[in-house]
Amino acid sequence: MDVAKALTIAGSDSGGGAGIQADLKTFQELDVFGTSALTAVTAQNTLGVQGVYPLSVDAVKEQIQSVGTDIAPGALKTGMLFSSEIIRTVSDMIQEFQWEKLVVDPVMIAKGGSALLQKEAIKCLKKNLIPLAYCITPNLPEAEEIVGFSITNREQQELAAQSIYKMGAKHVVIKGGHGDGEQATDLLYDGEDFHFFTASRIQTKHTHGTGCTYSAAITAELAKGRPIYDAVSTAKSFIQDAIENQLGIGAGHGPTNHWAYQKRKANQQISF
């Protein structure tokens, strides 16, 4: 059986809604075999981040080496990378294995406000990792941080995408989750055209891990050989179903429902 394989290089969320846990659940739901390299352990729940424990550069490197030398992923993603030294190590390893289908989720700050990337590491992210990205998926505050200007309208969102494209990312997806308005609209720029992916904004506080889940879904689809436009389109449906059917877990900002997309599809098949 020829199964698609993907790798996530990210932090652990003990609460299970974001990070490595969200990525592996998403890979599984999209029929992709998931592998992982941990960059940091966080003590975290729906109320916030209680502790951050980065792993050593050697530990990160060895995990990627172990996966890369044996289980070649069709696509990979990065999430929480925490420091410049981890970013440099990860970038070196990606070049060593000549992996092309790289999705960079430039995770900076958890929804509760805790830093998941050291401030001084942003420069390193721009210099070392963005040029390797097949696709990068910043949310609005992350995109503002990368480009250095504020994004308050569609025109600025497009300018930001062009600016990040010029830094070397082959496809730029600027997510609209942090915007306002009736629609949550994500923009995909491929160097020529702007494509918009729109869904109705759901009024909920349960959006913990949405960015991780979304970028993992894009990665899973790329691992199966799907083109980027299809991959983003599937990811958008996946995250919409996951937010709409949140599980009411925890007392704070709860996780989304990684089962929902497959369940809806299965139900649709039955009713046809």
Ligand X SMILES: Nc1ncnc2c1ncn2[C@@H]1O[C@H](COP(=O)(O)OP(=O)(O)O)[C@@H](O)[C@H]1O
Residue numbers annotated as active site: 175, 207, 209-212
| Run of H or E residues at 200 | strand 194-200
- Cα 98 to Cα 150: distance, rounded to the nearest angstrom: 34
| Run of H or E residues at 129 | none
Place of tokens 């992709």: 32
Q: Binding partner of residue 202 among ligand X, ligand MP5, none, CB under 5 to 8 Å per kind?
A: ligand X
Q: Which of 38, 60, 75, 80 lies at the binding interface for ligand MP5 (CB under 6 A)?
A: 80
Q: Which of 4, 9, 19, 165 lies at the binding interface for ligand MP5 (CB under 6 A)?
A: 19
Cβ closer to ligand X: 17 or 74?
17
Q: Cβ 112 to ligand MP5, closest distance in Å?
A: 8
Residue 234 interacting with ligand X (CB under 6 A): no
201-236 b/e with 16+ CB inside 10 Å = b?
A: beeeebbbbbbbbbbbbbbbbbbbebebeebbbbbb
Sign of CA dihedral 70, 76, 79, 84: positive
Residue 253 interacting with ligand X (CB under 6 A): no
Chain positions 133 to 162 lying near ligand MP5, rule: CB under 6 A, are: none
Q: Binding partner of residue 128 among ligand X, ligand MP5, none, CB under 5 to 8 Å per kind?
A: none
Residue 199 interacting with ligand X (CB under 6 A): yes
Token representation of residue 242: 């996951």
* The one-letter amino acid at 48: G
Q: Cβ 93 to ligand X, closest distance in Å?
A: 24
How many C-beta atoms surround the C-beta of residue 55 within 10 A? Answer: 19
Phi-psi category of residue 184: left, alpha or beta, with phi > 0 → left and psi -120 to 50 → alpha: beta
Residue 77 interacting with ligand MP5 (CB under 6 A): no
Do 77 and 10 touch, CB atoms closer than 8 A? Answer: yes
Residue 90 interacting with ligand MP5 (CB under 6 A): no
Q: Which of 25, 101, 111, 236 lies at the binding interface for ligand MP5 (CB under 6 A)?
A: 111
Residue 139 interacting with ligand X (CB under 6 A): yes
Please, how many CA atoms are within 13 Å of residue 158, restricted to the half-sphere of its CB?
8
Instruction: List interacting residues with ligand X (CB under 6 A).
Output: 139, 175-178, 184, 186, 199, 201-202, 204, 207, 210-211, 214, 236, 239, 243
Instruction: List interacting residues with ligand MP5 (CB under 6 A).
Output: 10-13, 18-19, 42, 44, 79-80, 107, 110-111, 116, 208-212
